[in-house]
């Protein structure tokens, strides 16, 4: 199974969607964030975030997918922890900057995917690290 398929499976498990054709909710789409061919190196805040995430991934392994994954809300916790240490105010999970940093992490590591699920007008994001597993 490719890393891309593992990431999709982890998202399906995390959001409680069925991968069976007859059980997958109608109107649901799964999109993968497209990474640039040459991502910028992590410096400053992004470097600190990468360090925090390296510590957090092993604690975020899914029971069903056996793969590390992190919701937008959980990711926001780590962003706000670093922002707090720097004296900045916290962000809400829906902030555009949160999605931007999720994309940056996916861009920096070929094993990290940003998965987007759209259903019934709603949109959810999930980071999946296929290199961190419990298999």
Separation CA 65–CA 6 (nearest Å): 8
Q: What pLDDT does residue 89 have? A: 96
Separation CA 53–CA 50 (nearest Å): 5
Picking from 29, 31, 6, the residue whose alpha carbon sits closest to that of residue 110 is: 6
SS3 assignment, position 78: helix
Q: What pLDDT does residue 99 have? A: 94
Please list, in sequence order, all residues whose beta carbon lies within 8 angstroms of the beta carbon of residue 112, skipping any fewer than 6 positions away. 105, 106, 127, 128, 129, 130, 131
Please list, in sequence order, all residues whose beta carbon lies within 8 angstroms of the beta carbon of residue 29, skipping any fewer than 6 positions away. 117, 118, 119
Going through 39-121 in order, the beta strands assigned E by DSSP cover 67-71, 112-119
Read off the DSSP letter of residue 59: G
Q: What is the pLDDT of residues 18-69, one digit of tens each?
A: 655 556 677 788 888 877 666 677 889 999 999 999 999 999 998 888 999 9
Q: What pLDDT does residue 41 have? A: 77
Longest dimension (CA), the chain: 50
Domain count, the chain: 1
Q: What pLDDT does residue 26 have? A: 75
Domain extent at residue 99: 3-133
Q: What is the mean pLDDT of residues 4-22?
A: 79
Q: What pLDDT does residue 106 have? A: 92
Q: What is the pLDDT of residues 84-125, one digit of tens each?
A: 999 999 999 999 999 999 999 999 988 999 999 888 778 899
């Amino acid at each position: 199974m490719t890393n891309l398929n593992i990431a999709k499976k982890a998202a399906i498990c995390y959001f409680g969607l069925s991968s069976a054709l007859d059980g997958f909710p109608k109107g649901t789409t799964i999109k993968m964030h497209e990474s640039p061919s040459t991502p910028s190196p992590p410096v400053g805040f992004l470097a600190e975030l990468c360090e925090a995430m390296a510590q957090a991934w092993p604690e975020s392994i899914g029971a069903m997918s056996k793969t590390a994954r992190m919701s937008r809300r959980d990711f926001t916790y780590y962003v706000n922890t670093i922002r707090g240490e720097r004296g900045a105010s916290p962000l809400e999970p829906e902030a555009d900057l949160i999605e931007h940093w999720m994309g940056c992490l996916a861009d920096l590591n070929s094993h990290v995917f940003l998965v987007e699920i759209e259903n019934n007008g709603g949109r959810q994001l999930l980071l999946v690290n296929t290199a961190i597993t419990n298999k």
